[in-house]
Structure 1
C-alpha cells in the first residue's frame, strides 16, 4: 500500500548550516525532483529556510551542468541532461532491460505487483518492479529498496541454493538473533533450514506474511547470467485479502510460463 508523503514545502525548513557547498547543490537537486511541474525560487527558499542568493547559487551550478533548467514561467525543473543520464543508466541495466517485459506480463496477468530482486549479503535489493495496470491499493516497495533476506520469498529462494546444510544456515545466522518482522518470520537456523529444504524440492519459495502482515508472495529463480546459478528471483506479491497465499502457489506454473527461459535453468 502506498504511503502519502507531505509536500516538501509544508515540511520544516532544513537548517542552513547543513547546506553548504556541494551539500546545498545536492539538496536543491533532490527538491527539484519532487516537483515535476516546477518550483519557484521563493518556494525553494521557504523549503530550506535560506536566503535567495544562497539557493540561487545552487540553482546556477545545476543549470551550468545541465542538471536543472528554468521554464517559461520562471520555475525550476530537472534539466534534460539529468533526465538523459538517469534514464540511460536505468535502461541500460541488463537485468532491467531483460526482465521488464516479463514483469509487465505478470502484473497484468495476475493483477498484483511483480518484482525482480537480487541477493546482497544478508539483504535483498529490488532491481525492478511493475505494479498492476488497475487497482487502487498497491505495495510500498520501491526499486532500490531493501529487505532482510530471511523475511522474503526472493531472499529465502536465493539463500536456499547457497545454504544447503543446517551448519551452513547456522553460520549464516550467526550469534545475533534475526529480525522478526511478523509473527510468521523464520528467525532460527532450524526453521530456515526446514524452509530451504522445501524450497529446493519445489523450486519456488513462499512468503506467508513473513515480511509484512497482510502481504504474501511467491518467488521463482531467474537465470540471466548463468544457466545454473540464479542471478536473482522474480516474485508476485499480493494482499492477503484479495490474493491468498494458496492462490499464488497455484499460479507458480503460470509465472514460470510467463518468464519463459528467464524463469528456469536452460
Structure 2
C-alpha cells in the first residue's frame, strides 16, 4: 500500500510514532520546496532533507495530489498553485498588524510601556496598531490611524533608512518640504538626516530621543511581514523617559529582536 508506506515513513502501519515521523517528513519536503522558487531536482531534495529518494518521492507524490507541489518540464519540483492560493488567501484575511498583535502585547507587558506598529505613507507614518501597558496611569496620546512626521519618529526614520539609501535620495526627499522641528532635538537638516539614516542601516534599529515629543523616547525595529528584504512596517517600544530611559531600551534591543523573531514561528504554529 504506497499511501500507508508514505504516511508511516517505512515503519509498520500500526505504529503511531511512525505516522508522526512520516507526516513530519512530508512537511520538511514542503518547507524545503519553499526555498527553491525555480524548482529543485529529486536527487538534491533527497540530499538536503536527508531521506532516501523513494521516500522523498512518495512525499512529493502526496503533495502533488493535493496541489501543494508541482513538477515542471525539467522534472524539477516546486510549490504548487494550490499552496500559493491558500497562502495568499490566508494572508489577505490576516493583515500584518493582526499577526503582530501578540508581539506588541508581549513587549508592552515586558517594558510597561506602549508599543506600536506603523507604516510609511509619504512623508508621514501611520499607526496601524497600538498596545498600551497593562498598568500605569500615564499613557501616550497616539491613536490607531494617527500620523506623525517620518523624520522625527523612530519608526519613520527606520523605514526612511530602507527607502532613502543614498545621500542624493535623502537630499531629494528633504527638499520636497521643510523638516518640521517638533522639539529642540528634532533633526531638521539634510546632513543630520543623512547621517542618522546611515547609522540606522548599520546597526539595524532606530531611536527617537525625544525628537517627536518631549519626554517620550522610542526604540524601533523593522518588521518583515511581506518580504524578507523590505520592511512592511516598523515596531516600536515608546516609553515615557521618566519611567523608562532610552538607554534601558537600547540595552534590551536584542531581547526585542528575539520577541519579534518569534512572529514567524507563531505564523507557522
TM-score tier (shorter): 0.5 to 0.7
Residues 222 and 262 of structure 1 are in contact (CA less than 8 Å); yes or no, is this contact kept in structure 2?
no
Alpha-carbon distance in 2 for matches of 1:195, 1:96:
27
- Which string of whole-angstrom CA distances, capped at 9 and with x for unpartnered residues, describes residues 155-176 of structure 1? 0000001111221101001154
Secondary structure at the counterpart of residue 161 of structure 1: helix
Match of 1:102 in 2: 103
Q: Offset at 1:93?
A: 5.1
Match of 1:169 in 2: 170
Please state which structure has a larger fraction of its residues in helix: 2
Alpha-carbon distance in 2 for matches of 1:194, 1:229:
21
Alpha-carbon distance in 2 for matches of 1:247, 1:228:
28
- Which string of whole-angstrom CA distances, capped at 9 and with x for unpartnered residues, describes residues 129-185 of structure 1? 000111110100000000000010000000001111221101001154211000100
TM-aligned CA distance change 1:186 to 1:93, over 3 Å: farther
Residues 208 and 245 of structure 1 are in contact (CA less than 8 Å); yes or no, is this contact kept in structure 2?
yes
TM-aligned CA distance change 1:189 to 1:93, over 3 Å: farther
TM-score (norm 1): 0.63
Q: Does 1:244 align with 2:245?
A: yes
Q: Offset at 1:261?
A: 4.7
Alpha-carbon distance in 2 for matches of 1:122, 1:182:
18
- Which string of whole-angstrom CA distances, capped at 9 and with x for unpartnered residues, describes residues 178-213 of structure 1? 110001001111100110111011000000000000
TM-aligned CA distance change 1:145 to 1:260, over 3 Å: same
Match of 2:181 in 1: 180
- Which string of whole-angstrom CA distances, capped at 9 and with x for unpartnered residues, describes residues 225-266 of structure 1? 001100000000001111111111111111111111549xxx
Secondary structure at the counterpart of residue 163 of structure 2: coil
Match of 1:125 in 2: 126
Larger Rg: 2
Alpha-carbon distance in 1 for matches of 2:234, 2:179:
22
Alpha-carbon distance in 2 for matches of 1:251, 1:224:
22
- Runs of 4+ in structure 1 off by over 6 angstroms are none
Alpha-carbon distance in 2 for matches of 1:200, 1:139:
27
Alpha-carbon distance in 1 for matches of 2:165, 2:228:
19
Match of 1:142 in 2: 143
Secondary structure at the counterpart of residue 185 of structure 1: coil
Secondary structure at the counterpart of residue 164 of structure 2: coil
Uncovered stretches (5+) of structure 1, i.e. residues with no partner: 1-90
Residues 114 and 237 of structure 1 are in contact (CA less than 8 Å); yes or no, is this contact kept in structure 2?
yes
TM-score (norm 2): 0.62
CA RMSD in angstroms comes to 1.5
Q: How many residues are treated as equivalent by the alignment?
A: 173
- Which string of whole-angstrom CA distances, capped at 9 and with x for unpartnered residues, describes residues 37-74 of structure 1? xxxxxxxxxxxxxxxxxxxxxxxxxxxxxxxxxxxxxx
Secondary structure at the counterpart of residue 234 of structure 1: strand
Residues 106 and 236 of structure 1 are in contact (CA less than 8 Å); yes or no, is this contact kept in structure 2?
yes
